[in-house]
């Protein structure tokens, strides 16, 4: 199933109109897909900003136009000379802040058109490299010509491009043979539900018990308890002064009786907190 098909299924079963996912999985990939319902769709950008973990099986010696196993083979080279030690020596160069060129088969836009649309029509264009953050890249299995790595990375990282670039650095080419998203922010694959389990939960009427509260993904921010006067200011979108600790990015605002009210963004030039997202009756 595509990520959109999962959303469409949950929308139909829940009869909720606002339903969205927090980060598309590549068509051949499996693993964690956070799905948000109702007002929780408004925190999707914050989920997408969270770090993700992938398990990637990379086949050396074969390059494809999509950088994965579903693409057309563009080149074959002998990779029998590549050793485990060479792979381990190559991996550290991809850790940290790196530059990646998006694959042609990606949703990045070029002059108003998606790259994959151009690629399908036989057009290849020069792509500007983009910054990506990789905090961990570890070899966990070596069965030549395949190696399996675990990747902790930030938003916008292309694991397919990582595999391609690794193959280039080893001089033999490479592509993704299998990809599993193990984690997306606080959501771990061990706590995830399969599609049949989701369908069963809706069929038997306990699906709402499986939902996380929408502020669960924001718990790494400071929480501020506000007065009734400040609650009214938040409801009307007015900036307010708060003692919200040292965090000068975002914070969570709660009423005195524990209701989650809003996401507030700090305005450093005014030393005030601006309501960014206000939740009705949360």
**Span 52-70, mean pLDDT?**
96
- Beta-bridged to residue 188, according to DSSP, are 183
pLDDT more than 70, % of the chain = 93
How many angstroms separate the CA atoms of 225 and 231, rounded? 9
Greater model confidence, 269 or 204:
204
Q: Are 103 and 160 in contact (CB under 8 A)?
A: yes
Q: Of 47-51, 119-123, 191-195, which range is least confident?
A: 119-123
Q: What angle do CA 64, 136, 101 make, to 5 degrees?
A: 35
Candidates 26, 68, 152, 215; catalytic one = 26
Question: What predicted TM-score, i.e. pTM, was given to this entire model?
Answer: 0.90
The tens digit of pLDDT for each residue in 123-178 reads 677 778 899 999 999 999 999 999 999 999 999 899 999 999 999 999 999 999 99
As given in the structure block, the two tokens for residue 112 are 């108003």
Give every CB contact of residue 240 below 8 A, 6+ residues apart in sequence. Answer: 226, 230, 233, 234, 264, 272, 273
Q: Domains of the chain by range and CATH? A: 3-48+187-214 (no CATH), 52-184 (3.30.2350.10), 221-278 (2.30.130.10)
The tens digit of pLDDT for each residue in 209-262 reads 999 999 999 998 999 999 999 999 999 999 999 886 655 689 999 999 999 999
Residue with the two structure tokens 């963004």: 265
- Beta-bridged to residue 147, according to DSSP, are 58, 142
Q: What is the DSSP letter of 127?
A: -
Residue 78 designated active-site = no
Helices 3-14 and 195-203, axial angle in degrees (round to 10) = 10
């Amino acid at each position: 199933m595509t990520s959109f098909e999962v959303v469409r299924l949950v929308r139909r079963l829940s009869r909720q109109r606002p339903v969205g996912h927090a980060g598309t999985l590549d068509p051949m990939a499996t693993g964690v897909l956070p799905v948000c319902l109702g007002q929780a769709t408004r925190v999707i950008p914050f989920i997408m900003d969270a770090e993700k973990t992938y398990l990637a099986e990379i086949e050396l010696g074969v390059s494809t136009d999509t950088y994965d196993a579903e693409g057309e083979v563009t080149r074959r080279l002998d990779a029998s000379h590549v050793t485990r030690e060479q792979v381990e020596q190559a991996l550290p160069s991809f850790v940290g802040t790196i530059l990646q060129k998006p694959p042609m088969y990606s949703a990045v836009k070029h002059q108003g058109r998606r790259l994959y649309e151009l690629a399908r029509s036989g057009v290849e264009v020069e792509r500007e490299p983009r910054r990506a953050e990789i905090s961990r890249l570890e070899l966990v299995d070596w069965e030549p010509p395949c190696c399996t790595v675990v990747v902790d990375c930030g938003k916008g990282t292309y694991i397919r491009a990582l595999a391609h670039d690794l193959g280039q650095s080893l001089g033999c080419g490479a592509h993704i043979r299998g990809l599993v998203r193990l984690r997306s922010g606080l959501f771990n694959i061990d706590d995830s539900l399969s599609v049949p389990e989701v369908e069963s939960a809706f069929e038997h009427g306990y699906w709402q018990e499986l939902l996380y509260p929408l502020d669960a993904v924001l718990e790494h921010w400071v929480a501020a308890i506000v007065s009734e006067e400040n609650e009214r200011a938040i409801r009307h979108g007015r900036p307010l002064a708060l003692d919200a600790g040292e965090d000068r990015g975002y914070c969570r605002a709660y009423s005195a009786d524990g209701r989650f009210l809003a996401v507030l963004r700090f305005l450093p030039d005014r030393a005030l907190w601006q309501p960014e997202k206000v939740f009705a009756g949360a």
